[in-house]
Amino acid sequence: MTATADIGVFGLGTMGSALALNLAENGFTVAVSNREADWIDPFLTEAGPLADRLIGVAALADFVAALSTPRSVLFMIPSGAPMDAMITQIAPLLDPGDTIIDGGNADFHDTRRRAKALDAQGLHFVGMGVSGGEEGARHGPSMMVGGTDHSWQQLQPMLEAIAATFEGAPCVAHLGPDGAGHFVKTVHNGIEYADMQMIAEVYGLMRDGGGQEAPAIGAVFQNWRDGPLKSYLMDVSATVLSSRDATTGQPMVDVILDQAGQKGTGRWTLIEALRMGQSASTIEAAVGARGWSSEKDMRAAAESLLPAGTAGGEMPPDADLEQALLAGRILSHAQGFRILHAASEEFGWGLDMGRISEIWRAGCIIRSALLDDFASAFRAALPRDHLILAPTMRARLADAIPALRRVVAAGVSMGVALPALSAGLAWYDTMRRARGTANLIQAQRDFFGHHGFERLDEPGRHHGTWNGLI
């Protein structure tokens, strides 16, 4: 086996195959392998002329021997235990200076642990978030890289060649060491959950409050595709709402069971946010709503038992729905960026929020017109590092928040749940008010637990006498 391949891709599932073909198409020689060796030949056959730049190898030792040094080995396999098992097998076959890349949706804590363990052996470990699904992986994903400078130098030419581009700039960046890339991808997914949920909420209001059929809602979404909501997820939503089931002729969404799946990244975003004392209320609402969706039997039983207690209410105009979604999208991204900010501080990653916004402008699932505005906002001096304080975002929110209020109020009056949109609004109203209500919380805590509080007029820790009752 001659060591000629620029990179090895192990794992020929949907994403691994697509990335290997993308690399080959961009002129790189790629060694490919798979746990089930009988996947390799069919993959090479389907690759057509690109097979000239693909080297299929079944045995792990031969796969490693096919790679030029320093080696780059990209694993596209299920995260968790399978990744640990492959590291254990491949590490003894590698040399100091080689890089193992995990391109799956891994828990960044695992990535940090693996990077540390491999560092002791002189090996480099890269946690790389890859977004954009199969189509993105094949023709241009957005990639979030965490790892050493050494690995980045090795990978940069390949990753920049295969990445999606926004006005010519590749949507890939070295964001920081060890778990930085996987963490950013995790938060990307949290924002993805929130965006999908908010779009679904507006669909729900139009369906259950406005009595509209899926194709009519799809037509409204279609109109928003070129406005301020321009985004991949709006395109997807407009398209699926106007699709029909080939068997029944009904709108496709009307034959789909209303129970959402999830693989865990949204939940991880939340867990990390809460651990760092951050708010991620829109993401939390989205993850929670997926959980509630699975309680189908309970909901079916409750429908006849729990009265809606509605107060009437009128459907807001479409323009309000559009502006409400825009406000919700700004707020959920602002929450996501706060989580990134907190993690960057905690782990010393030095995350560049402007750069992250830039590489999310194309290729990834949450790509939208707003991300270019976010990138500009982060590049300008951002008051308190807070997206909602950027002058451009303040202007957009000033226009959109009144519509969000009307939409949330309509949902409340009509008994249609808008958990993510209303959570975003509550966060906005909390953050824009200097005097909150935690003074009462502190008083309660001191009353029943002698926890103490700070006073507005005197430094130090104080206790109340509570009218002599304690």
Binding positions for ligand 6PG, rule: CB under 6 A: 105, 131-133, 189, 192, 261-263, 265-266, 364-365
Question: Do the beta carbons of residue 16 and residue 83 sit within 8 Å?
Answer: no
Distance, in Å, from the CA atom of 316 to the CA atom of 205, rounded to the nearest integer, reads 10
Nearest to 129 by CA among 98, 71, 172: 172
Contact call for residues 142 and 132 (beta carbons, < 8 A): yes
- Single out the catalytic residue among 25, 135, 160, 185: 185
Residue 132 beta carbon to ligand 6PG: minimum distance, rounded to whole angstroms:
5
Which residue is at the shortest CB distance from ligand 6PG?
131
Nearest approach, Cβ of residue 249 and ligand 6PG (Å): 28
Nearer to ligand 6PG among residue 192 and residue 320 (C-beta)? 192
Shortest distance, CB of residue 185 to ligand 6PG, whole angstroms?
7
Q: Which is nearer to ligand 6PG, 154 or 282 (CB)?
A: 282
Residue number, 127 or 132, with CB nearest to ligand 6PG:
132
| 3-class secondary-structure state, position 286 | helix
- Check if the beta carbon of residue 12 is closer than 8 Å to that of residue 35: no
* Residues 161 and 30: beta-carbon distance below 8 Å: no
Which residue's CB is nearer to ligand 6PG, number 28 or number 268?
268
Least distance to ligand 6PG, CB of residue 444, Å: 38
For the chain, helix, strand, coil in percent to 5 are: 60, 10, 30
185 is catalytic: yes
Minimum distance, C-beta of residue 87 to ligand 6PG, in the bound complex (Å): 21
In terms of CB distance, is 13 or 215 closer to ligand 6PG?
A: 13
The per-residue b/e assignment along 433-451, b for 16 or more CB within 10 angstroms, e otherwise, is eeeeeeeeeeeeebeeeee
Q: Which of 192, 272, 284, 322 is catalytic?
A: 192
What's the rounded Cα separation, in Å, for the pair 419 and 201? 8
Of 64, 49, 43, 54, nearest to 1 (Cα)?
A: 64
Residue 32's φ and ψ, nearest 5 degrees, are -125, 145
Which residues are designated catalytic? 185, 192
